[in-house]
Amino acid sequence: RKEVEQDPGPFNVPEGATVAFNCTYSNSASQSFFWYRQDCRKEPKLLMSVYSSGNEDGRFTAQLNRASQYISLLIRDSKLSDSATYLCAVNGAAGNKLTFGGGTRVLVKP
Amino acid sequence: DTEVTQTPKHLVMGMTNKKSLKCEQHMGHRAMYWYKQKAKKPPELMFVYSYEKLSINESVPSRFSPECPNSSLLNLHLHALQPEDSALYLCASSQEGAAGQFFGPGTRLTVL
């Protein structure tokens, strides 16, 4: 089993719709969690950290479920510019080591 | 300044060449990282520097040699690479501990 797993997609989303996807992790000692966005041939950009109580940043909401060992990202009112690959990243008990999931591709269409 | 810079943007080298990749950050971060990313795959961690000391080496072949001259700079020295080493090499930095990492734009390396 991979340490961090994501549905590769693609998720085809009509503009204006809501899309949500998850990321599961295997190490129950994982300390911190992040969502990154990566555009084609560009570097990953930190979208948001994921806090235990859940957190929201504009149209983006992240949740953490420690009992079931997954995090989620929800995008409301999808824009064409939201089309990208969304990578989850998990920081284990070792501190600085960040392990990435394989990414979920999201395509927002008019 | 919330930017990580990397040079060069593109690099083509032969298997007998020696080259270096450079990374710089001025965010006061004390942890810096090298990642390798192949097409349609996630970034794979290569090295972690914490307070200018190598703290993690993910069993990377010795043809890759990292160096951290100071808290703002990170280099990756390349020697005798193989064509399968062609990839996007990403540098990142973060505050110490389990903090989010900020990536540079990467160096796209092609080994002929």
For residue range B7-48, what is the model confidence (pLDDT) as tens digits? 999 999 999 999 999 999 999 999 999 999 999 999 999 999
In which residue are the tokens 């943007």 written?
B9
Residue B98: list chain A partners with CB under 8 A. 31-32, 91, 95-96
Chain A nearest-CA residue for B97:
A95
What pLDDT, on the 0 to 100 scale, is given for residue B98?
Answer: 72
Q: Do A95 and B98 touch (CB under 8 A)?
A: yes
The pLDDT of residue B97 is above 90: no
Interface test with A, best of B6, B103, B110 (most A CBs within 10 A): B103
Distance CA A85, CA A43 (A): 11
For residue B80, give the 3-state DSSP assignment: coil
For B43, the closest of A32, A96, A100 (CB atoms) is A100
Angstrom CA distances, B52 to A1, B44, B70, B103, stand at: 34, 21, 6, 18
For A46, the closest of B45, B100, B104 (CB atoms) is B100
What pLDDT, on the 0 to 100 scale, is given for residue A45?
Answer: 97
Residue A28 sits at the chain B interface (C-beta within 8 Å):
no
Name the strand (E) or helix (H) holding A92. none
The pLDDT of residue B2 is above 90: no
pLDDT band at B51 (very low <50, low <70, confident <90, very high): very high
Distance from CA of A61 to the nearest CA of B (A): 17
Residue A96: list chain B partners with CB under 8 A. 31, 33, 48, 50, 55-56, 94, 96-98
Contact present, B66 and B56 (Cβ < 8 Å)? no
Q: Do B99 and A32 touch (CB under 8 A)?
A: yes
Distance CA A68, CA B33 (A): 30
User: Residues of chain A whose pLDDT is less than 70?
Assistant: 93-95
The pLDDT of residue B68 is above 90: yes
Q: Do B100 and A102 touch (CB under 8 A)?
A: no
pLDDT band at B99 (very low <50, low <70, confident <90, very high): confident
- A101, HSE (Cβ side, Cα atoms, 13 Å): 29
What pLDDT, on the 0 to 100 scale, is given for residue A8?
Answer: 96
Write out the E strands in chain B: 4-7, 10-13, 18-25, 31-37, 44-50, 53-57, 64-70, 73-79, 87-94, 102-103, 107-111
What pLDDT, on the 0 to 100 scale, is given for residue A58?
Answer: 97
